[in-house]
């Protein structure tokens, strides 16, 4: 089925470890983004991309890196994990043909715990 | 800056009660507005959307009308079911004119009791 695939679904890291959260979409969407979800704070934008080779920071980018070498993939890297990065991470994609906004497709999420 | 404000939860209702979840927004342009739903342990699903003023989005008995004059997009349902228990997020997007960013409210938890 077409959609956004995130891996892994669950991960436990020790403080200081690094890891990459994977996100892939097969809908040829230009726009991709990463959000983190914390209780009482909704979803906050970490990084986003408007196309292959183009990325930019969102609201809470510190401690995270991204790259977009292909249209399909948008991995999120944690450089040195900290307990404050314990959260649920969602990847989303979208496109805007002729300016129309059809909405965003979300992955199922990665639940990350940093101990 | 652009923002979305939702009523605080949790909202607790009995089955078949009427539901309203308030959502207001601030935006510099002409946003599209969305309601997303998150069932326990799952990701976000698009519930409904409206792309211009006075549009009404509807799905699964839920409705919301884009009110530009009051900058609101309140979610309503005439008769809730236990299966509607979830977290509901209001969100706005300025689409390709603002790099495709989707801005969320803080979410409202709905609990429906039998």
What is the pLDDT, as a whole number, of residue A25?
Answer: 96
Q: Which of A31, A40, A107 sits opposite B100 (nearest CB)?
A: A31
Strand A31-37 relative to strand B11-14, pairing: unpaired
Q: Which pair of tokens denotes residue A78?
A: 């944690």
Q: Give the residue, A114 or B40, on which the prediction is more confident.
A: A114
Residue A1 scores a pLDDT above 80: no
Looking at chain A, list the stretches that DSSP marks H as alpha helix, in order from N- to C-terminal side: none
A21-59 per-position pLDDT tens digit: 999 999 999 899 999 999 878 899 999 998 999 999 999
Q: Which residues contact A112 (CB under 8 A, 6 or more apart)?
A: A10, A11, A12, A13, A21, A78, A85, A86, A87, A88, A89
Q: Point out the residues of chain B with pLDDT beneath 70.
A: 95-99
Q: Which of A30, A103, A109 sits opposite B49 (nearest CB)?
A: A103
Q: Which of B43, B97, B105 sits opposite A42 (nearest CB)?
A: B105
Report the mean per-residue pLDDT for chain A: 92
Contact A100 B103 (CB under 8 A): no
Distance from the Cα of A18 to chain B's closest Cα (Å) equals: 24
The answer to whether B46 contacts chain A (CB < 8 Å) is yes
Can you tell me the distance from the alpha carbon of B109 to that of B106, in angstroms, rounded to the nearest whole number? 10
What is the pLDDT, as a whole number, of residue A99?
Answer: 67
What is the pLDDT, as a whole number, of residue B42?
Answer: 86
> B62: exposed, middle or buried (C-beta count within 10 Å: 0-12, 13-18, 19+)?
buried
What is the pLDDT, as a whole number, of residue B99?
Answer: 65
What is the pLDDT, as a whole number, of residue B96?
Answer: 62
DSSP letter assigned to residue B72: B
The position carrying tokens 């009308």 is: B65
B80-92 per-position pLDDT tens digit: 999 999 999 999 9
A68-101 per-position pLDDT tens digit: 999 999 999 999 999 999 999 999 998 877 667 6
Longest dimension (CA), chain B: 45
């Amino acid at each position: 089925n077409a959609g956004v695939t995130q891996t892994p679904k669950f991960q436990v890291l020790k403080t200081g470890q690094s890891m990459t959260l994977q996100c892939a979409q097969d809908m040829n969407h230009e726009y991709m983004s990463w959000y983190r979800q914390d209780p009482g704070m909704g979803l906050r934008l970490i990084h986003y991309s408007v196309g292959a080779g183009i990325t930019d920071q969102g609201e809470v980018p510190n401690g995270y890196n991204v790259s977009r070498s292909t249209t399909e993939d948008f991995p999120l890297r944690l450089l040195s994990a900290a307990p404050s990065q314990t959260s649920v991470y969602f990847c989303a994609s979208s496109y805007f043909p002729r300016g129309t906004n059809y909405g965003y497709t979300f992955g199922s999420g990665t639940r990350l715990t940093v101990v | 800056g652009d923002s979305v404000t939702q009523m605080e939860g949790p909202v607790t209702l009995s089955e078949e009660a009427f539901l309203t979840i308030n959502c207001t927004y601030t935006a510099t342009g002409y946003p599209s507005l969305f309601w997303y739903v998150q069932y326990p342990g799952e990701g976000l699903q698009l519930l409904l959307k409206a792309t211009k003023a006075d549009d009404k989005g509807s799905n699964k008995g839920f409705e919301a009308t884009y009110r530009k004059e009051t900058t609101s997009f309140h979610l309503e349902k005439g008769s809730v079911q236990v299966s509607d228990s979830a977290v509901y997020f209001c969100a706005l997007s300025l689409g390709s004119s603002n790099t495709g960013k989707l801005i969320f409210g803080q979410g409202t938890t709905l609990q429906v009791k039998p």
